[in-house]
A and B are shown apart, each in its own frame.
Chain A
Amino acid sequence: MRGLSACTVIVALLFLSGCSDNETSAVSVDREPEISPDYAGVTIPPNIAPLNFSVLEKADAYVVKIHGPRGKAVSVSSKNGVVRIPLGKWKTLVSENRESDLSIDISTKQQGLWGRYRSIMVRIAAETIDPYLVYRLIEPGFVRWNTMGIYQRNLETFEEVPIALNELSGKNCMNCHSFRQNDPSTMLFHVRGQFAGTVIYRNAKLTKVNVAAGAMGPVVYPAWHPGGKYVAFSVNKIVQRFHSIPEKTIEVQDTLSDVVLYNVETDRVSSCSALSSGDRLETFPCWAPDGRRLYYCSAPVVSPDEYDKIRYDLLSIAFDPDKQEFGAVDTVVSSEKTGMSVSFPRISPDGRFALICMSQYGNFTIWHRESDLYLVNITTGQLSKPHINSPQSESYHSWSSNGRWIVFSSRRTDGRFTRPYIAYFDEQGTAHKPFVLPQEDPAFYSTFLKSYNLPELVTSRVRLTPRELGAVIRSKAENPTD
């Protein structure tokens, strides 16, 4: 079909060759042009950086005109199809066209003839996205790592600056950065290896502590309580194995896991029987926005050989923050009913939805191609699959502070390197077509050999520098382990 329309275009161009000498008198091409990244039909926040892209149609020259119902159009000419939109003009155009559609008109010149493709439409939402995205950049390796760092990207520009770099602390592993409800002034992350500990930034104070749950060892997946006084952590005994067939790569499995509660103010770790049962694995804690329920994943313990039979339920447990007491457990998503395994629950800021990953088994979804994002209506219990998934792994995700945007990790471009995708989530609970985090160089992702790990939206810049954090990481923990 595509071939046919291309032929039609060529015939039309030849027929009309005498009357088409510039892009204003271009011949219409009855299809959208192919562009990379794919921004066609996406909904974008009004404060996003320019959607620079490459036109994948072969041509000698390109003219791109971006316009909306209001304001001045932005035109970009290109010889190689790479379209870099001026930041200032883009900002003006986008801010003037909130809640409207932008048209991207692309004309190409081939053998002296201009053709104009059908416009690519981009919807501008009314709601902004939190201006910073924090992620870890790391190669998606098997066991080893080398350099890694936690970075923050200003979504309104292309500026990316490091927050923490492991080169300043003996190239140790650093992971699980977490914020209290998108607040950059309350965060933590773990450091492993030589300078092991958990770095906590809270009340403008930076500390390093050892948070461990007895014999289970140091804590892993964190979730800040909305009040900022507690952090729920999972503690996991993890085994990692490697498949020999190309269809599967890595199997990461918990042999033991519990969920514990860390009181940041008293430096005490506690739990309850429901969250630390001997015959079940509890992991991936996540608080409801009101702080009165803790969501988590839970599965019966099975032997490592039965790794492909572990299926996690999504459970929740009541919590009284004043008394620091847990209550009754409720099943939100039953793996028995779905036949699938739940991981990474994240509750929307209005408390109406839980966004989860589901895969055939296990919980380390990044290595499961079949892993997709699902939406749970917490009030009705209804489970739906938003149209934001791909045949490759969709994994870690987070909400913007206003609940209108979700950012998630996806391996859809090449199956290996994780990229952050942003999707609009409207009031009706529908997720719109996602788009990859825009880069100044539209071909950036095609050669970038690191993954974007744990994308977290924050409401402003994290005011910490690698040097400050490096010094804290290298220091002794305030509560050294016995």
Chain B
Amino acid sequence: MDRMRGTTYAGLTRVAVALYFVFIFFFFAVFNKFHLIYQEQTQLFLFDRNYFLGFLSKPGGLISYFGAFCTQFFAVSWLAALLVTGAVLAIYALVKLVVRSIGLRSAVWALVPAVLIVALQSSATYPLGNTLGFLIALAFIAAYMRIKPIRIRVGFGIAGLVLLYIACGGYWLVSASACFMHELLFRRSKFRFVIAGAYAVLAACAPYFAGRHFYAVGFAGSWTNPIPSVLPVPLGFELFFVLAYVPFLMAVAAIREAFPAKVKVAAHSEIGKNGILKAILSAVILVGLPAAAYDYKSECILGMDHYAQTEKWDRVLTFAKLYPGVNRLVTYYANLALSKTGRLGDEMFAYPQNGSAGLFLPCDAVPQDLFFGGDLSYHLSFVSAAYRFAFESMVVNGPTPRSLKRLTITSLINRDYPQAQKYLAVLGKTLLYRTWASRYSAFLDNKQEPFPDNELAEKRRFAVVSDFWLEDNLTVKHLDKLLQDHPDNKAALDYYLAYLLLDKDIDAFLTKLGLCAETKTALLPIHYQEAVLMYRYAYGGAGAEGFAIADQVNRRFKDFVRAISLHKHDNDKGASSMAAEFGSTYWYYLYFGSRIS
């Protein structure tokens, strides 16, 4: 009966673990999809000897290389989820082997590092190579502990640790400390102190020697590279636990072995007797930890970024609506998406705005801003700026598919074919972008005018003619200059007018609007009409003649004026009570600022 119960329990555990890994797969495939896609976008794996050799200058270069190899497949979200889940599953299996060989039985013991890795991999900046480093270190430990003959084991241990150091860098310390503790705590050989001492000496000296003579790393880096020295706050703890876990388990197992009764009783009294409590606790840890590490806001932003790259502007706007709160990057992408879909003048106040600053992204703050912020200049046909920001991004963030593609395209637009050829040659060494490179390589041989690509031809048509200084960030001055060269640059005009609206400079807005011939003949975008009405209201109609206003907008404005007069003594109350009806109007923005702020 007990045996049957045991079998059933084991079966249920297996099913639960399997379900858990299905959950992990969906966690990465659905909820962390854009984090993983972003990882692919921030690196560039090349099938190139020099690229490979570059990794060997540091300990652990091989796993970084292999990690980069795998990360290129993150461009396909289900494949990314599969790779991460596979790595986590392998870690679970290996920890289970280690756990069993030291006499611990519970599946939860084996799941803990897997869960921690899930939390770590939820970060867009945690490289897969690190997970693989830990995985290989675990595989080494599992193999080491199964070898019985002392000579073979120690030979395997020393030779393996050296190779492990070269391949996995800092993760070898997990293996070295496990070998050390294994010999000391679980082997009864009379040489165990000597062997353990040898491992301690190896761990202390080998990195020092290697760092001094072979690797271009600093003192600490000789031991720790490629383990990240700086991680976002919660992840630092998780990484520490991952690294310390196996030695910790060995210590626990050794204590249990030394004091079997006390520890077992304690374990029983806490969770052993109550299966439900144990299951609930496990579930809380297994689901709670990844949930705690999950960053929904970042996922939204990275989703917007992904769809902006793939020019699915409606999806960018969907994420802008989903994002909880206000974020400059969200506003930046939402405005870009509205401009690209021709809706900036109609819908910009339906999305959170934080003044004219929300139109531009500063490119001088953090490296990621350069990564995201160069897009606008390209869509404004400000090609020199787009080239510059892409180049700066490549310098600061390393070559990425995005920066190299942008550099290629801007170089082609500028007729700088030798430079375009260079970036295409690099992209030609990738797996995923060689087709793209091949397509654009055709333009190198085909220098005909007009350019045989509509988008690039348009950018060429709007090429900046008059020379002016380009500051670190895009500003309204640049928009003005772009429009001086090409008054028909619609994107630049949209942004210029949006800038004036957001800056609440209706005078300048109407002046600029009046200069555009078509604004007198066609019906204006809704926010422009709203601005005209507000101007007429404020100045009695002078100076804003000739613009057609839709009846509906006129009616709505009257309602707005009525509502405002009701709340003229209580601004806060007015803001909250009028938000639902007028929150997406320019008038509301003028009076109360952005609806969501």
Chain A interface residues (CB < 8 Å from chain B): 139, 141-146, 162, 165, 167-168, 241-246, 248, 413-417, 441, 444, 446-449, 466-467, 470
Contacts and interface: CB of A to CB of B under 8 A. Distances in A.
Interface string B404-426: 00000000001110110110011
B385 interface: yes
B394 interface: yes
Contact of A141 (B49, B392, B418): B392
Contact of B470 (A167, A244, A467, A470): A244
Contacts of A139: 391, 394-395
Main secondary structure on chain A at its contact with chain B? loop
Given A146-B398, A466-B216, A446 B392 contact: no
29 contacts: A139-B394, A141-B392, A142-B388, A144-B392, A144-B396, A146-B395, A146-B397, A162-B216, A167-B218, A242-B384, A242-B470, A243-B467, A243-B469, A244-B464, A244-B467, A244-B470, A245-B384, A246-B416, A248-B467, A441-B50, A446-B422, A447-B46, A447-B425, A447-B429, A449-B394, A449-B426, A466-B216, A467-B212, A470-B218
B467 A415 contact: no
Contacts of A168: 216-218
B50 A448 contact: yes
A350 to B, nearest CB: 37
Contacts of A242: 384, 388, 469-471
B244 interface: no
A143 B395 CA distance: 10
Contact of B399 (A143, A449, A467): A449
Nearest to A241: B469
B465 interface: yes
B411 to A, nearest CB: 9
Given A244-B469, A447-B422, A167 B216 contact: yes
B481 interface: yes
Nearest to A242: B470
B468 interface: yes
A441 B49 CA distance: 9
A81 to B, nearest CB: 15
Nearest to A445: B422
Which of B388, B398, B399, B463 is the most central at the interface, judged by chain A CB atoms within 10 Å of its CB?
B388
B218 A246 contact: no
B68 to A, nearest CB: 16
The 7 closest A-B pairs by CB, nearest first: A246-B414, A141-B395, A414-B418, A242-B470, A139-B395, A245-B467, A447-B426
A415 B418 contact: yes
A143 B472 contact: yes
A78 to B, nearest CB: 16
A441 B469 CA distance: 40
A127 to B, nearest CB: 31
Contacts of A470: 218
B472 A414 contact: no
A89 B161 CA distance: 39
A447 B391 contact: no
B445 interface: no
B101 to A, nearest CB: 40
Contacts of A444: 50
A246 B463 contact: yes
A242 B391 CA distance: 13
A167 B49 CA distance: 23
A165 B364 CA distance: 24
B211 interface: yes
B383 interface: yes
Contacts of A244: 382, 384-385, 464, 466-470, 478, 481
Interface string B354-397: 00000000001000001000000000001111011001101111
Interface in B440-499: 463-472, 478, 481
Interface of B: 46, 48-50, 211-212, 216-219, 364, 370, 382-385, 387-388, 391-392, 394-399, 414-416, 418-419, 421-422, 425-426, 429, 463-472, 478, 481
A437 B49 CA distance: 19
Contacts of A146: 395-398
A139 B395 CA distance: 6
Contacts of B467: 243-245, 248
Given A141-B395, A244-B481, A417-B422, A447 B388 contact: no
Which of A142, A143, A246, A441 is the most central at the interface, judged by chain B CB atoms within 10 Å of its CB?
A246
Nearest to B428: A447
Given A143-B392, A243-B467, A447-B48, A415 B398 contact: no
B383 A246 contact: yes
Nearest to B404: A449
Nearest to A304: B469
Contacts of B397: 146
Nearest to B485: A244
B429 to A, nearest CB: 6
Contacts of B212: 467
Contacts of A447: 46, 48, 50, 422, 425-426, 429
A414 B421 contact: yes
A394 B328 CA distance: 43
A378 to B, nearest CB: 36
A243 B465 CA distance: 11
Given A168-B216, A446-B425, 8 more contacts: A143-B472, A146-B395, A242-B388, A246-B384, A414-B421, A415-B419, A447-B48, A447-B50
B391 to A, nearest CB: 6
Contacts of B384: 242-246
A449 B397 CA distance: 13
Contacts of A413: 418
Contacts of B217: 167-168
Contacts of A466: 216
Which of A167, A417, A446, A447 is the most central at the interface, judged by chain B CB atoms within 10 Å of its CB?
A447
A414 B394 contact: no
A38 B584 CA distance: 64
B418 A165 contact: no
A144 to B, nearest CB: 5
A229 to B, nearest CB: 33
Nearest to B51: A447
Contacts of B218: 167-168, 467, 470
A37 B469 CA distance: 37
A139 B471 CA distance: 20
A145 B470 contact: no
Contacts of B385: 244
Nearest to A246: B414
Contacts of B466: 244-245
B16 to A, nearest CB: 45
Contacts of B388: 142, 242
Contacts of A165: 216
A128 to B, nearest CB: 28
Contacts of B426: 447, 449
A366 B5 CA distance: 79
Nearest to A141: B395
B157 to A, nearest CB: 29
A248 B470 CA distance: 12
A395 B314 CA distance: 49
A244 B380 CA distance: 13
A322 to B, nearest CB: 43
Which of B391, B395, B397, B481 is the most central at the interface, judged by chain A CB atoms within 10 Å of its CB?
B395
B286 to A, nearest CB: 38
Contacts of A246: 383-384, 387, 414-416, 463-464
A416 B419 CA distance: 7
A242 B384 CA distance: 9
Given A246-B414, A246-B463, A145 B383 contact: no
Which of A142, A162, A244 is the most central at the interface, judged by chain B CB atoms within 10 Å of its CB?
A244
A448 B422 CA distance: 8
B383 A142 contact: no
A7 B521 CA distance: 62
Contacts of A449: 394, 399, 422, 426
Contacts of A414: 418-419, 421-422
